[in-house]
Amino acid sequence: MTVLLVAAGAAVGAPLRYLLDRAIQFRHGSAFPWGTLAVNVLGCLVLGLLTGLPTTPAVSALAGTGFCGALTTYSTFGYETLRLARDRAWLLAGLNAVGSLVAGLGAAYCGLLAGTALAR
Where is the binding site, in residues?
69, 72
Phi, psi of 29 (to 5 degrees): 55, 40
Annotated binding site for Na(+): 69, 72
